[in-house]
Chain A
């Protein structure tokens, strides 16, 4: 069965500093990979996704993620964090189900705090 691990439960970063959130997955085939963000009191919003091709994926709000098959990782990065990036971030792996699309398995999440 597939699984997703986000090793960091909390990360505190200063505004303007860079941010990297780790994600490791376990899945037997080439996965579909996603990063979602949940801002306080908000629903989950898709930041970016990876299916195939270029292993560096650009997303919204200045985020990017890199797929590394050899490390089973899909880490999320942002060069310069803004106070509005304080949120909880979830990595997910998508698994095909009966040719009916995919279901997502999520990691435990990483809560990001931004210091002024």
Chain B
């Protein structure tokens, strides 16, 4: 089975801190994604990457950046955390083929105080 692993299940950070969320997949997938999930808003795409060192903005990239130095790892960075970034963050990966399904990690619940 494909495994997408997010490094932390829960994180508590302070306003202004730099925050790193890590995601690793073990199935050699080309594509990786970061979503945030908020009640009533569903999942919203922050950034995605379809190759090493490649990144594309999603629908809500403001306040975030990403890094993909190795194929299996995709990091989400909050340069200066703010309270409105308190959310559930979901990482996903997929093959680079049209119509491929996404495999999701279990999520990181981030609280910014």
A contact set with B: CB distance below 8 Å: 4, 6, 9, 32, 34, 42-44, 46, 49, 51, 90, 92, 94, 96-98, 100-109
Report whether over half of chain A's contact residues are helix, strand or loop; otherwise say mixed.
strand
Interface string of B11-53 (1 = CB under 8 A from A): 0000000000000000000110101000011111100101100
Give the interface size bracket for B toward A: 20 to 34
Neighbouring B residues of A49 by C-beta, 8 Å:
99, 101
Contact in complex: A43, B107 (CB < 8 Å)? yes
Contact in complex: B94, A43 (CB < 8 Å)? no
B contact set with A: CB distance below 8 Å: 4, 30-31, 33, 35, 40-45, 48, 50-51, 56, 58-59, 90, 92, 94-102, 104-107
Contact in complex: B97, A101 (CB < 8 Å)? yes
Distance between A5 CB and nearest chain B CB, rounded to angstroms: 10
